[in-house]
Structure formats: structure tokens, C-alpha cells
Structure 1
């Protein structure tokens, strides 16, 4: 494969072969998964919030570094929308710096307060947002790159709900920093299209959930393989925390509560949406319970295989897409 045609500001920033970022997956993006991404020529991020304490995060970083064998990796720091008492975000960033981690993925709220610390240490910051307008604000703060996730994404698509195809072209005229497009990305032709529209790469989550290196139960992965893009639900709009998740008993119950009481509080929803319920689903394979983030790229989730094999398929699809552009006979 001629990787030079895929060289971009993102491949240069992270020192990767392909313009693909495996975004942090809550509970799932551990050292084995992130190292597999590194070995396959892309970059992944350990999700700090998945670890119980700072010592566990330190151990996971060190284990990942050994498994990567010199390859790039990062840590995802998902912050709550507002600072809360007891939050350890500052300590997490200090640990990341002390461990010599070179890359972080931030999300949830502005990373402004932590950028001086990270910049002094030479840490490159990729900030994830759900709209072009927030990407512009993050760029003005001085982050190194932004990841814009569209309405199709699993997890939190924000409130604007603009699709990835529009975001990819819309952002090109507004951003001076490299940007990734995420949300519904699961085929190599989409990556080629994103590059053509001005993005420096893509962020992928749902498509990688069936990788062998994801520790979740096989029954959960089989449900994803059987699912279609229409098998997701949007819920929690009433508390301005919209989430796209695999349709199941929990999403139905949450939507019913929201319909019955549009003023429902997050505290009332918590017995259904607490993260520990979702984590238990990954352990047991009981995919009918919990908010299990999944996006429209379920369209491309067709079998369980090593992460490296999925990335090889994406590479081949990118090549085929480029060939179609340059050879009219293939269109």
C-alpha cells in the first residue's frame, strides 16, 4: 500500500502510518487494545476514567508502553461538563506528564485550565467535540488537533446533531488546526472521502468494538455483528446529555421515563444509566441492560477478528475508493 498518499497532519502529529485514531472507549480501551492499535499503524487512547485510581492508571500506562514496543499511544481524559468536588482531573494530567505520555485525548469540557501544564511537558492535545463551533473554540485555545463527532456517533453526539458528511466539509474553511471526523465511520471509502473534504483523518469507535483485543463478552460482540444502523436509540435529551446507544431494554425504559416526564432529572435516570451497569453488560454479555454506546457504523460490523485485520480491511477499502476516483471505468 502506498501510504504516502495518506500522509497528513494527523499522521505526522502522532507518528502513525494511517490517518486513523481509535478514540477512547469507556471501560474497554485498555493497554491490550491500545497497543494493538499502535502495532497496526494507528493510535489509540487508554480511557483514564475506566481505571479505579491513579495507581491503576499508572500501571496501565506502563503496561501499554511495554506492549507498544516504542509505538505511539495516548491517554483519554473525559472530563465532566463542570468541575465537581473531589474531581481528580488535575492529578490525572500530572500523572500523564510524569509518566512521559506524549499524547492525550480530552473531551467533556474545555481543556483550557490544563493546557499550560501539558504544553510545558510537550504533550500533544487532541480535543474531542460534537460540533464545528466547539472545534473552533478549542482551536483558539491552542489544542494541537480536534476531533469532531457527528450525529451518527455512538456515545455523545452533542446537541447540534449535524452529520459527519456535512461536518467534514464545513470544518475545512473554519479551522487552522488539523481535524478528525468521527461518527458513523467504519469503511475505508469514508476515510478517503473525509481526507478529500479537508479532514486530516478519522476517529473510529463502534467499528472496532468487535476486535479480538476488546475484552468484552462474546455475546455482546455477536449482538453488534447482528445489529444494523437502525438498532440504536437516542436518549437522555431531556437532561441535555444526549447519548446514542444500542437499542435494548434500558434505552426503552429511559425513553419511556423521558416521555412521561420531560422534566426528569439525571438523578432519577441514574438507576438505569449508571456506568457500572454498562460495564456489567460487557462482563456478562447481557446486552439488554445498560447504556451501551454504539453508532451508525454498525452497518460495517460484520465479524470478530483482530484489530490489525480490521485496519487492513479499511486500508484496502481506502485504496479501492481512490482507484474509483482516478479510473472512471471503476465507477
Structure 2
């Protein structure tokens, strides 16, 4: 879009023709990563119309019929534009887990793209490959990306320590992840964690990435189904307003700093052996979900990365993406000699 959202950008620079855009059929090599409770058909289809790809979070629709209905609604809203489904697996298989059934449902619905995370997807690769599904696996550092590559995923997204949500235990920054990935991987990789500008997209491409993953920067999109007060809190926050907690249970999470993060940090400092059972009354996802409904951000673990410093207003997702494209074009112009 033009600066005021008054029309489409007429030309896409050839530099944006990458394995990501070719795999997904998108205009820009940008992935809007799955957002728990928030990446629904409205949000994902808005990404599709903006020229990028996003993923419905399957865990947000735990009943199979609801997930199937959401996929079908998204397909209708996308009008042929690409979209996918995110399947976030727990770090360890637990009794009663329905991951295999979810993958089979996705395949039955003819979904062509899947984003996986949480643990090694190797056990499910035969189901996905038989269905012709392109698999993007999300990891927190390059050593896990190397393993994912070995089990046959098509692409990996590596989200650094700056990211909202779970940056893993290694806490490697995005710049280092990109440099290491360029040396150690042969499949296409994307870089995430603190990404929110077009200049960062250009930097990632220059470092060998095929694209970027964006989460926090898109949380203030109009199409995100969350209370206006929640979005305004993100607009008002800065890169200094996140907190890391839950390191004691080896499940580090970066979230918006609030009363809950202060309390959890205190509990972990005073009792490092507290365990997940002791933390659960404060960190349950159900508590955080209420913030999306009510706009009260004082409680709950509300995933947010350091790109909070870039969330300056609430606007349509297409306008955020268009702004990133303008920034990318400006970055390219700075790099190119006059007349090239």
C-alpha cells in the first residue's frame, strides 16, 4: 500500500523472490507466525491478502470440528491466497495427545502448508509428506534447526532470544542465529525474534535467510481479535517492557512485564525448586487469554518480544506490511549505487 494505505505497491523488487515466496506463492518473504488464541481465520486471511502467509493455531481450536470449520472459513476468506496451520507440540509426548489426529485432519482438509514447533516433528513427517504438505519447523537456535533439517522438513524458522513467547534455553540472538544458519544449513531458513521493520528483512536476506518471521509487530493489527485496551498497552510499551521468566522449569518465556511476571520472578528467585505445579496458578494460558478478552494486561503471561518498541499504532495488517515493504525498499536504496 501507499503511505496512507491508498493503493497497492506497484512493483515488488526481485530481491524478494526467495525460496519462501516461491514455496508459498506470496509476494513478500514474510511469515506471520502462529499466535496462540489470536491466529484465527480473520487474522490469517488478512495476512494472505497483504501478500504474506500466516498460520491458524490448531491449539486455539482443540475440538476437531471447530478446527475443521476454522480452516474452511479461512479458505473462503483467502479466496485462493495461501495460508497454513500451526501445530505446536509439547516438548514431550503425553498420554492422550491428539497431535497425529490434528495432522491427519489438516491433510484431509487439503491444507498445503504447516508450521510446527515444540519438539522434533520426525514422527509425523510421513503423514505430512504423503499429503504433499510443505513443513516449516520453528526452533529457538541453530542446533535444533540442523536436527530438523536431518528429518526432512522443507524450511526452518529460527527465533532468537529477542522473540515473544518461548526463546528456548540457549538464548541466542537473531543476528548470531542468522550467521550460524548460513554456515550450517542447506535448506532455506527464516529469522525471527525482534523482527518488525523492512530494514531487518533486507538484513536477514543479506545474511542468507530466505525470509523473516514476525509476531509481536503484528499484534497491534486491527484484525487481531483482542480488546482495544490490550493493543493500546502494546502501543504504549517499549522494548524495555518485557520480562523473562520460567527459567527454573526450563520453559523460558518472554512476555509483557506486568504484575504476574513480577510475582513469578519473585517466586522463582525465592524457591528455584518451585516446579511447574507451583507456577501454574499464575502462568496458565487461560489467565492470559482473559487479557485478550477484557483488555486488562496486569495479569497473565502475555507473549511479547522486544519489537514492542516498533508498535506505534493500531492499524490494518495490510498497512503494517506495506510499511515494512517501504522500509525495505528504502534500505535497498541505501545499499545500491545511484542509477543501479
TM-score over 0.5 (shorter chain): yes
Q: Offset at 1:3?
A: 3.1
Partner of 1:289 in structure 2?
299
- Unaligned segments of structure 1, at least 5 residues: none
User: 1:3, 1:17 within 8 Å by CA — same for their partners in 2?
Assistant: no
User: TM-score, structure 2 length as denominator?
Assistant: 0.96
Q: Deviations over 1:2-54 (max 9, x none)?
A: 33221001111111100000000000000000000001110000000011311
Match of residue 161, structure 2, among 151, 155, 158: 151
- Unaligned segments of structure 2, at least 5 residues: 1-10
Aligned residues: 329
User: TM-score, structure 1 length as denominator?
Assistant: 0.98
User: 2:33, 2:54 within 8 Å by CA — same for their partners in 1?
Assistant: yes
Match of residue 92, structure 1, among 86, 90, 102: 102
Instruction: Show structure 1 runs of 4+ deviating over 3 A.
Output: none
Match of residue 59, structure 2, among 49, 62, 66: 49
Alignment of 1:264 with 2:274, yes or no, is: yes
Alignment of 1:32 with 2:24, yes or no, is: no
- The 2-side partners of 1:224 and 1:281 are apart by 12
SS at match of 1:241: coil
- The 2-side partners of 1:152 and 1:52 are apart by 29
> Aligned Cα RMSD in Å?
1.0
Q: Deviations over 1:85-117 (max 9, x none)?
A: 111001100000000000000000000000001
Match of residue 327, structure 2, among 314, 317, 331: 317
Partner of 1:16 in structure 2?
26
Match of residue 214, structure 2, among 204, 211, 222: 204
Alignment of 1:253 with 2:263, yes or no, is: yes
- The 2-side partners of 1:8 and 1:175 are apart by 16
Q: Deviations over 1:150-188 (max 9, x none)?
A: 000000000111110111121101111100000000011
User: 2:12, 2:27 within 8 Å by CA — same for their partners in 1?
Assistant: no
- The 2-side partners of 1:108 and 1:20 are apart by 21
